[in-house]
Structure 1
Amino acid sequence: MNNVVKSSELSQLFCDFNSVIQSNIVNMLCRKRKKDFTRNRNMNFYSIIYYFIFRNRTTTNADLTHFYSSIDKFERRISKQALNKAIKKLNPNVFTYLINQFVSIYYASSLPKKYRDYLLIAEDGTYMEIPYNVYNINDFQFCMNQHVHDIFDVKKVQSKAGGLYDVTNGLFIDFSLKPAPYSETPLAFAHLYRTKKILKNQKIIYLADRYYGSAEIISHLEFLKYNYVIRGKSNFYKKQVALMQSDDEWIEVEIDDKWLKRFRFSLEAKELRKEKPIFKIRVIKRTYKYTDINHDIHCENLIYFTNLSEEEFSADEVIELYSKRWDIEISYKTMKTTQEIERHISSNGDVARNDIYAKVLFHNIVGVLRKEINHELEKRKTEKKYVVNITQLHVIVHEINFLNCMMYNLKEKIKRKIDNIMKIIDKIKVPVRPNRHYQRWGRVMMSAPSYRFRLDGRNNPKLKKIGSVLMTTFP
């Protein structure tokens, strides 16, 4: 597929998605009450959705000015007070629907890419900070620990977030926000159930960290006919793993009635293990050695669970496959730093949910563009490998007024903007370094900088005096 066809497909994707945003179904889903969003005001239901998705300024007034300037209706700019009334009417569930619809439209196109005929999907969770007030403490709850015994000890309100992320195509297939004490396991099952229809007839490899290697999750993946690569915990199937004669072999695990009672989230997994109580897992062991800043050598034993065959994927290829899961970690970091997903415009809990969901949706919009550009860079036979700078791409999408093109369904204009982005690939690409190119933390500094910012605009690293020297510390 050439670049012209790609930009045409992408512009069609965004126009189709705009049709969904402005549909009657979304109008109904937006409402908390029947009378909400029934009149055509300066900030109607789809305008509010776009406002949330493309919000990127540091203050509400600046965001309002930018939004109405972008859609060429500055004279209809509403006040901050009017905005606060409007955004409290918006139901957060509408963004869950929109994320699902964007992904469905994307997979129905010819744009999705695959890794050796597989879609790589990664599951992981994180915490999102919510504005602090007593209502949000009750709404999002809190985790009790040695420092927090009751509501009066809570200093920070957080929500447990989780996402199912398409590593090959750079977008969240599903995303959830739950109270802070919520476990990541039921979140993972909810994502697998909700995306079952979207991923139907696709060859899937499910990538997950150490907390997702339970027998119930593996059994559910087996029921869905998904392949998986999951980093194992040392106490998972330890009896069977201890009997291994090599670093790469299959083990057999038998699920008895007592074990079966711990299956709480998947009826399908439970029924499957009743019929076939013994299942096989391919276990791969590796020893990872590294040297710390004191030049001390450390060894860490790693273990991986998979059901991929040796004929299709060698042990080294499975480990390399698992390393691709890191893209979801990068996505969370990008949303928290570049997109400032935790910078909210209201202390209202539902508005905070809208802030977060909308940023995930923007991340998906930019994510599919990022993967297309990266794919173009991969086709170049160069000595060094390059990828697009995601921070610069975010800025470009905001500044070239993608908002106006999407909101008014300007397909040809979107296509031209995508073509122009493709033309400046070399100006926004960065080299991929297999290892860090210089030591950022733990570096000895001769003296403290007298200025706050570096020449590229970023902050200078923090310094800590250790003995008689100054050393950079992790921010």
Structure 2
Amino acid sequence: MNNVVKSSLLSSLLCEFNEAVHSDIVNQLCRKKCTDFTRKRNMNFYSLIYYFIFRNKKTTNSELTWFYSSICEFEKRISKQALNKAVRKMNPNVFIYLIHIFSKIYYSSQLPKDYRGYYLIAEDGTYVEIPYNVYNAYDFQFCLGKHVHDIFDVKKIQSKAGGLYDVMNGLFVDFSMKPAPYSETPLAFEHLYRTQKIFEGKKVIYLADRYYGSAEIISHLEYLNYNYIIRGKKYFYKKQVALMKSDDEWINVEIDKKWLKRFRFSNEAIQIREEKPVIRIRVIKKIFKYINQKGEECKEELIYFTNLDSQQFSTEEILQLYSMRWDIEVSYKTLKTTLELERFISEDGDAARNCVYGKVLFHNIAGIIRKELNKKISRDTTDGKQYVTNITQLQEMVYETNFLYSIINGKKTQIKQKIENIVKMINKIKVPVRPNRHYKRWGRVIVNPPSYRFRLDGRNNPKVKSFKHVLITVAP
């Protein structure tokens, strides 16, 4: 499929998403009261949605100036007080709906990429810091600990957030924000239930870290006919794992009635285990070597659980597929650093949710473009090196080339032209992938310490410490 067709498909997708934003369903969902967003105002419901998606300045006033200038309605610019009044009317649930709609539109197009016919979806959670006030402390709650005994000990308010992320296509298929004590396991089940129709009839490989290897999650994935690759904890199925004679073989785990009582989130998982009490899991072991902060060489045994056939997927391929899960970690880093996920316009809890969901939607828009550019880069590269799109520069181009005006007015031809212009700039926004990027970065011996704090690219030089009469780099 050539670049012209790709840009046309992307522009059609964004125009269809714009139609959904302007729809009556969204107008109803965004209201907290039936009287909200019923009058014609300078900041109507769809303008406010796009305002949250395309926020990119340091202050609210500069954001309002940029927003109304971008949509060529500067004379309608409202004050910061009027914005706060409109923000308090916005129901955050509308953004969850829009994230789902964006995903449905995307997967119904010809754009999605797969790995040997499989969609690779990764689950992971994170914490998002919320503005501090008493109302948010009750709303988002807090985790009791050594230094926190009651609400008066709370110094920082956080929300447990989590997303189901397509690593091949660069978008969050689902995203949620819950109170801080909320567990990642029920959050994962919510995402699996809500996205079930999107992936119905499709082949899926579910990628997850150590906190998702429970028998209930694996049983629910069997019910959905999903394949999975999950990194396991050392005590998961330890009796069966201890009997392994090689580093890659299948184990049988019997779920008895006592174990089944601990299944709390999925009736389907309970039913499938009642009918078939034995889970068959392929276990892969790998020795990971690294240098600790003391400069000592250490070894750690990593365990992975999967149900992919050993005849079709080798041990090395399973490990390679799991390493692709790292893209969701990169996305969280991009959201928190480049997109400033935790910079809010109000202390109100719902306003904070709207800010976060809006950033996720913008990440999805830029993410699907990034994956298309990466595919073109890998296809056109002839020097044997690996390159990827600089996500920070790409996001800046989406902001500065005024995608907002074209999308909010549904101008398909303009969107297509802007995407093609970005493709022409692809060689100026690509960056080389550093070799051995997943191997040790710290514990390296250097001859001389850096004499200044920043390198030429503005980044911090690595910290160093003295060890056995030499200087060794340490993690920041």
Q: Is TM more than 0.5 here?
A: yes
470 and 75 in structure 1: CA distance in 2 versus 1, 3 angstrom threshold: farther
> C-alpha displacement at 1:143, in angstroms?
0.6
Q: Could you say if the C-alpha distance between residues 103 and 163 of structure 1 is closer, same or farther in structure 2, counting changes exceeding 3 Å?
A: same
Indicate the RMSD between aligned Cα atoms, in angstroms. Answer: 1.9
Letter in 2 for 1:389: N
Provide the residue aligned with 1:266 in structure 2. Answer: 266
| 1:30 equivalent in structure 2 | 30
Matched, 1:77 2:77: yes
The correspondence of residues 438-453 of structure 1 with structure 2, limited to 5 A, is 446=449, 448-449=451-452
Identity of aligned residues (%): 66
Unpaired runs of at least 5, structure 1: none
1:292 Cα shift? 4.0
- Following superposition, the deviation at residue 446 of structure 1 comes to 4.0
Cross-structure match for 1:142: 142
The amino acid that maps onto 1:187 is L
Q: Is the 8 A contact 1:445 1:471 kept in 2?
A: no
Report the CA distance between 1:438 and its aligned residue: 9.9
Partner of 2:131: 131
**Secondary structure at 1:39's aligned position in 2?**
coil
Match in the other structure for 2:18: 18
Distance in 1 between residues matched to 2:308 and 2:333, nearest whole Å: 30
Shift of 1:276: 0.4
- Aligned counterpart, 1:256: 256
Call closer, same or farther: CA 1:343–1:118 in 2, change over 3 Å: same
Q: Do the aligned partners of residues 444 and 77 (structure 1) sit closer, same or farther apart at CA in structure 2, a change above 3 Å counting?
A: farther
Question: How far did 1:119 drift?
Answer: 0.1
Structure 1 residues 447 and 101: alpha-carbon distance in aligned structure 2, compared to 1, 3 A threshold: closer
Residues 1:221 and 1:38: Cα distance change in structure 2 (over 3 Å): same
- CA–CA distance in structure 2, aligned partners of residues 139 and 444 of structure 1: 52
Distance 1:420 1:100 in 2: 29
Distance 1:9 1:247, change over 3 A: same
What TM-score does the superposition give when structure 1 sets the normalisation length?
A: 0.96
Instruction: Write the letter of the residue equivalent to 2:400.
Output: E
Instruction: Tell me, yes or no, if the aligned pair for 1:444 and 1:471 is still in contact at 8 Å.
Output: no
Give the AA of the match of 2:391.
I
Whether 1:312 and 2:306 are equivalent positions in the alignment is no
Q: Which position in structure 2 is the counterpart of 1:97? A: 97
**Aligned equivalents of 2:470 and 2:286: distance in 1?**
38
Q: Hey, what's the Cα distance between the residues in 1 that align with 2:329 and 2:380?
A: 27
Q: Which whole-Å CA distance do the structure 2 matches of 1:357 and 1:23 have between them? A: 19
Quick check: 1:445–1:469 contact (8 Å CA) kept in 2? no
Is residue 432 of structure 1 aligned with residue 403 of structure 2? no
Moved more, 432-441 or 26-35: 432-441
DSSP 3-state at the match of 2:342: coil
What's 1:208 paired with? 208
Contact in 2 for aligned 1:444/1:472 (Cα 8 Å): no
Would you say 1:419 and 2:420 are equivalent positions?
yes
Q: Secondary structure of 2:420's partner? A: helix
* Aligned equivalents of 2:78, 2:126: Cα separation in 1: 35
Query: How far apart, in 2, do the equivalents of 1:197 and 1:292 lie?
Result: 45
How big is the shift at 1:454?
4.7
- Indicate the SS of the match to 2:96: helix
Q: Deviations over 1:193-225 (max 9, x none)?
A: 000001111100000001100000000000000
**TM-score (norm. length: structure 2):** 0.95
Q: CA deviation at 1:388?
A: 0.2
> Which residue identity is paired with 2:435?
P
Seen in structure 2, the aligned counterparts of structure 1 residues 187 and 379 have a Cα distance that, compared at 3 Å, is same
8 A Cα contact 2:449 2:464, kept in partner: no
Answer yes or no: is 1:407 the counterpart of 2:408.
yes
Shift, 1:294, TM fit: 4.9
CA shift at 1:470, angstroms?
Answer: 8.8
> What is the Cα deviation at residue 380 of structure 1?
2.3
| Distance in 2 separating the partners of 1:141 and 1:473 | 35
Gapped runs of 5+ residues in structure 2?
none
Find the counterpart in structure 2 of residue 175 from structure 1. Answer: 175
Q: 1:435: Cα distance to partner? A: 2.0
Output one character per residue of 1:396-443: Cα deviation in whole Å (capped at 9) or x when no partner: 100000000100111000000000111111100011123249957876
Secondary structure of the residue that 1:172 maps to in structure 2?
strand
Structure 2 SS opposite 1:379? helix
